[in-house]
Structure 1
Amino acid sequence: MQLSSSPGLTARFSRQVILPGFGTEAQHRLAAARVLVIGAGGLGSTVIPALAAAGVGTIGIVDDDTVELSNLHRQHIHSVADVGRGKAQSAAESVAAITPDTMVVVLARRLVSGNALELFADYDLVIDGSDNFPTRYLANDAATLSGIPLVWGAVAQYGGQAGVAWAERGPQYRDLFPAPPPPGSVLSCEVGGVLPTVCATIGSIMATEAIKILTGIGTPLIGRVTTFDALSGSFRELSYERDPSAAPIDHLIDYDLFCGLAPATGELSAQELATELETGVPLTLLDVREPWEAEIASLPGAVLIPLGTLEGGLATMDTDAPIVAYCHHGIRSVRALELLRAHGFTDARHLEGGIDAWSRLIDPTVARY
């Protein structure tokens, strides 16, 4: 983006250029900046348009997910017309409607150890709006090895937090969280829900931190974390320092394994389940979603016991009966499988990809949501 080539661009950013300590130099820095955003979901939906509207020259969007109807209450960069489309492409088109002068690089792929360093090499700053711990640790380590700052954020239910990890200038994400939480101990948005305005609040803080770093104004959240509680309307700040005993980051690892998310045993694909049902294999379909989800779509004959009440409802079930647990995407059903096996259900499995995979691969008449 070249500010000098268009009087319209100069007028467009006049309200921020006149800010004390900002000026045209800061605006030129934004125009020259290249920012990679991980995730075009709840946080990315606020971060991406904010950066584009502020005048960031190049925005890369890495996300391999597709838009679903249940995303739209918080992922405002997408619309009903985008349901089923790739999030990265949908977000890019929204940016084009805001300002055609920002170049958007669509990276419709999953961020993994094998491509992170190559992707990060093309950018000045990374913003992590992902929703899982393996990606958060990967983003931190790849940013450290790449020598660039990382702005990160996380939301859950009625609260959220944001900070900056910049190994060259202060503590990083691993200094704050040396070890990931036990699998299943932190509820995802799919399981625990999230207030949409929390995503907007934390996303705005993240975008602000990126602008501060890129322009040199203000003091970035290095060694500090801002937390927000929507129920009380309050903010708090937590300070932290480098861990002198921490091992240096010199390579990328298997982050699923590090976070305790090794591939689950007992997975059953949608095709395998369809075959078993067609051949009459006796089994109990256990739906561990919420009642409102079952009203939208369910598998015939399924027994509905939401995950939150599953442990108490196991007494009514036969431990010797073959069971296939399922949910929306196959996330809650993994936890259900762990509970079943812990209580003596040895012939228990879960549906990989959940009812969403069943709808896509087996029966499209089953509604997706």
Structure 2
Amino acid sequence: MAQPQITADTKMGDIMDALPGARRALFARYHLGGCSSCAFSNDETLAELCLRAENLPVDEVIAHLLDSHQHDLAMLVEPVDAKTRLDSSAPPRLIDIRTREEFEAVAVPGSEFFTQELQQQLFAGDPATVVFLIDHTGRNALDMVAWFRGHGLKETYAITGGIDAWSRDVDKSLPRYRVEME
């Protein structure tokens, strides 16, 4: 995967699209983007955000974002590769972290809906268990992977692009959908 091109003039929405873990990386190091007091808009440029955030050095922030992205890539699995692993003799567990309504409307066959009980079972189980997480578009799964790994499940991965990419690249019979937010 090619390294995304980010400059001072790149809009934050474009950065969020190019680097799925960018919000987590910005919040962890600079306390940006995690709450209403440090939020940014999709139309704000990286330079504008850095200026507003006590004049952070833009080049340093770009380097941090790109380093974090390289780290995140190791926690991702492409849908086609995930399908191959799921069809193997020792398949990973496929955990769906979307809402119950989304899961009940459309789900990857064999996936398990993420509940509190399943979480407790996973965290108390074998730390070598391989787990694939799937969400709608891949935006939330990467953060959940970091959380799972932080709880000892070091072999947890996010399916790139979520169920939307799965329905495009693996199983075209699964309907694609959009979530409307009010």
Please give the range of the TM-score, normalised by the shorter of the 2 chains: 0.5 to 0.7
TM-score, structure 1 as length reference: 0.34
Distance 1:134 1:349 in 2: 19
SS of residue paired to 2:69: coil
Q: How far apart are 1:281 and its partner, in Å? A: 2.6
Q: How far apart are 1:161 and its partner, in Å? A: 7.6
Distance 2:145 2:48 in 1: 35
Which residue is equivalent to 2:164?
Answer: 356
Residues 1:130 and 2:23 aligned together: no
| Matching residue within 61, 65, 69 for 1:262 | 69
- One-letter amino acid of the counterpart of residue 5, structure 2: V
Instruction: Map 1:1-369; keep pairs closer than 5 Å.
Output: 112-113=5-6, 130=13, 172-178=48-54, 255=62, 257-258=64-65, 261-263=68-70, 264=72, 265-305=74-114, 313-317=118-122, 318=125, 319-369=127-177
Q: How far apart are 1:361 and its partner, in Å? A: 0.8
Change (3 A) 1:315 1:271: same
Which residue is equivalent to 1:203?
Answer: none
Q: How far apart are 1:293 and its partner, in Å? A: 1.5
- One-letter amino acid of the counterpart of residue 364, structure 1: K
Q: How far apart are 1:290 and its partner, in Å? A: 0.9
Q: Which runs of 5+ in 1 are unaligned?
A: 1-110, 121-127, 136-153, 166-170, 179-242
| Greater RCO structure (CA 8 Å; 6+ sep) | 2
SS of residue paired to 2:165: helix
Distance 1:285 1:294 in 2: 13
Q: How far apart are 1:173 and its partner, in Å? A: 3.5
Q: How far apart are 1:280 and its partner, in Å? A: 3.0
Select the structure that is richer in helix. 2
- One-letter amino acid of the counterpart of residue 316, structure 1: Q
Distance 1:257 1:314 in 2: 31
- One-letter amino acid of the counterpart of residue 293, structure 1: E
Change (3 A) 1:302 1:176: same
Select the structure that is richer in strand. 1
Q: How far apart are 1:132 and its partner, in Å? A: 5.1
Residues 132 and 158 of structure 2 are in contact (CA less than 8 Å); yes or no, is this contact kept in structure 1? yes
SS of residue paired to 1:262: helix
Distance 2:81 2:91 in 1: 14
**What is the root-mean-square deviation in Å for CA atoms of aligned residues?**
3.9
Distance 1:254 1:322 in 2: 33
Equivalent pairs, count: 149
Q: Higher Cα Rg: structure 1 or 2?
A: 1
Task: Give % identity.
Answer: 19
Kindly provide the CA deviation profile for residues 178-229 of structure 1, in whole angstroms up to 9, marking residues without a partner as x.
4xxxxxxxxxxxxxxxxxxxxxxxxxxxxxxxxxxxxxxxxxxxxxxxxxxx
Q: How far apart are 1:259 and its partner, in Å? A: 7.8
- One-letter amino acid of the counterpart of residue 13, structure 2: S
- One-letter amino acid of the counterpart of residue 52, structure 2: L
Change (3 A) 1:259 1:316: same
Distance 1:328 1:368 in 2: 9
